[in-house]
Amino acid sequence: MKNPITKSFQPVGLFLVITLALSSIFYFLIIRSGMTSGGFGTYATGLMWCPGISALITLWILKRDVKELGWGWGNTRYQIWSFTTPVLYALIAYVIIWVIGWGGFYNKDFAKQISESIGLGQLPDGINITLYVILIGIFGTIRSVANALGEEIGWRGFLVPELYKTMGYTKTSLLSGLIWAVWHLPILFFADYNLGTPSWYAMICFAILIISISFILTWFRIRSNSLWTAALLHASHNRFIQDVFTPLTRDTGNTNYYIDEFGIVLPAVCIGFALYFWSRRNELYYEAKNTRNGE
């Protein structure tokens, strides 16, 4: 009789091998171009969809139902929480940066770009920035979900539930986060997936951030039984950090060491969020118990 852990890792191993094989194509293209924006951004989109395509291929090979991936919408409150959580931890991180002076608020050159792009005349910077944040928060996130979904079908649609069967919340969060972090390393070391800090520094900050966020994503995925929580959180995280908070921050010297996914502050804040969700891990076991009992 097979050990249940060994049995669980067979589909996980298959999924990871296929993911690596597909991702290698886009690693090559991105590294060759030197830019994550290479191929007019299609290389990055292709890479982000490799885990999702791999999950679908894995289920097809194993003759399992794609419904396992968690396509249902679930309780809307979890979708709202998953969207707002990145806004909250990013806001906390950047307020810390601005108050201490590791970066300044706000970047007037970027505010000028916003004004020119919005095109409503000489409005005050505060109004233009507010309009920009609203547009990015709504329509930017909708557009970003298309890319994030590719990753999340694989990572949280397939990998997390598969690991959770035998490993539980804490180990699943740690292992899935580590795999997710390692998957990014080729473009971090050999392309421009960085803000200009040394690669070793960026790698440490990024890995801490990704593993911390995995505790949040795993909690929402298991609690809601919906991969859409992960897609929304991922999309919200990317848009608010990459398109709002980072470009709005003025460089005050060594700012790149503190901001974004490759600086130290956001990972530190997300550790606190990870601990909060970890403290609520028993809610997941209670939910599973009720589901088995038909409640």
Q: Which pLDDT tens digits describe the chain residue by residue (295 residues)? A: 455 555 557 999 999 999 999 999 999 999 999 999 999 999 999 999 999 999 999 999 999 999 999 999 999 999 999 999 999 999 999 999 999 999 999 999 999 999 999 998 888 999 999 999 999 999 999 999 999 999 999 999 999 999 999 999 999 999 999 999 999 999 999 999 998 899 999 999 999 999 999 999 999 999 999 999 999 999 999 999 999 999 999 999 999 999 999 999 999 999 999 999 999 999 997 554 443 433 3
Which residues are CB-contacts of 218 (< 8 A; sequence separation ≥ 6)? 156, 160, 164, 169, 172, 173, 176
Vertex 180 angle, CA 56 and 137, to 5° = 85
- The encoded tokens of residue 104 equal 């300044």
Chain centroid to CA 47: 14
Pairing of strands 249-251, 103-105: antiparallel
- pLDDT recorded at residue 29: 97
- The Cα–Cα gap between 268 and 271 comes to 5
- pLDDT recorded at residue 285: 73
- pLDDT recorded at residue 103: 97
- The Cα–Cα gap between 197 and 143 comes to 29
- pLDDT recorded at residue 7: 58
- pLDDT recorded at residue 290: 46
pTM score of the predicted model: 0.92
- pLDDT recorded at residue 278: 97
Asked whether the beta carbons of 151 and 183 are under 8 A apart, the reply is: no
